[in-house]
Amino acid sequence: MREKVKTIEKDEKFLRQTSKEVDFSKSEWKEALKELDEFCKEDDNIMAMAAIQLGIPLRLVYLKKTDLNRLEEDYNEQTVLINPIITKKEGLTRYWEACASCMNYTGLVERPYRIEIEYYDEHEKKHKDTWEGLKATVICHEMDHLDGILHMDKALKIVELDKEEIQELRKKEPYKIIEETGDFKKLIKKR
């Protein structure tokens, strides 16, 4: 199943494109969502996936694991974001991010602690939510994919590690909340 993932090694140009908005009048998004769902359910290590990573350049994100306290568990959150837009970013966090598309390159990335987001679900219903912590981090990572941006582009440091080494690194340097409030852009500039 892993061979479906587009990688920087073979498909960087593809991954660097901007994904198109989902047009609900066309059925292609339903097939894309089905493919995302099947892929994510088969791979326990995936926290989330953007459709572009499976070769589908649509603004579709599938969230699977975003609860920091349950990362070691086998569970499936199954939240779908269609045409997501972040309307506000607050606070600052730091986390060692990994990515199925970026091979074994793990990067220390700063992201907002809290985001306000608008999106549609798989029933075409519009939502406005505020999410914080790891969930905000994961969503920002996946939404970057929709715009052709990789976590390595934003990383303060990059290391090459396998899955076990990533877990050890995250134990030594866990998810860190630097600020819970304040304008994200201003906080990043201060650092």
- How many domains in the chain? 1
Alpha-carbon span 32 to 68, nearest angstrom: 27
Q: Which domain holds residue 44?
A: 2-190
Percent of the chain at pLDDT exceeding 90 = 76
| Catalytic positions, written as ranges | 142
Among 2-11, 39-48, 76-85, 177-186, which range has the highest average pLDDT? 177-186
Q: How confident is the model at residue 31 (pLDDT cuts 50, 70, 90)?
A: very high
pLDDT digits (tens, 9 = 90+) for 103-157: 899 999 999 999 999 999 999 999 999 999 999 999 999 999 999 999 999 999 9
pLDDT digits (tens, 9 = 90+) for 79-118: 899 999 999 999 999 999 999 999 899 999 999 999 999 9
Q: How confident is the model at residue 1 (pLDDT cuts 50, 70, 90)?
A: very low
CATH classification at residue 44: 3.90.45.10
b/e map of 116-137 (b: 16 or more CB within 10 Å)? bbebbebeeeeeeeebbbbbbb
Q: Which residue carries 């929709």 as its tokens? A: 146
Alpha-carbon span 98 to 107, nearest angstrom: 7
b/e map of 156-175 (b: 16 or more CB within 10 Å)? eeeeebeeeebeebbeeeee
